[in-house]
Amino acid sequence: MENLTEILKGVLEGCVLEIISRKETYGYEITRHLNALGFTDVVEGTVYTILIRLEKNKLVEITKKPSDMGPPRKFFTLNENGREELRKFWEKWDFVSSKLNQLREEQ
């Protein structure tokens, strides 16, 4: 599919929150997960920018763990605020998605 960057801007943070909600994870792993889902335009720099914003907004807990390939990695898990933000994201997504489907099926 052609470039999805513009349409993804508003939903990528929610996607990252969802991935983090499933298990403790780190930036490169999140990027690979999104790429495997077909979001091939998503690069590590984009994911790291989102992770910094999540940290700044106190939506995640961070644990540093040793890495075989250099400095320690930051592993992310959602805290209570992050889980609430994710809930709100899916609520908004469901609303927008239903309205888009309604619009698409109008005659």
SS3 assignment for the chain? CCCCHHHHCCCHHHHHHHHHHHCCECHHHHHHHHHHCCCCCCCHHHHHHHHHHHHHCCCEEEEEEEECCEEEEEEEEECHHHHHHHHHHHHHHHHHHHHHHHHHHCC
Mean pLDDT in residue range 81-101: 96
Q: What is the CA radius of gyration of the chain?
A: 15
- pLDDT score of 3 more than 70: no
Q: What is the reported pTM? A: 0.90
What mean pLDDT is reported for the chain? 93
| CATH code given to domain 5-101 | 1.10.10.10
Give the pLDDT confidence of 17-29 residue by residue, as tens digits: 999 999 999 999 9
Mean pLDDT in residue range 33-47: 93
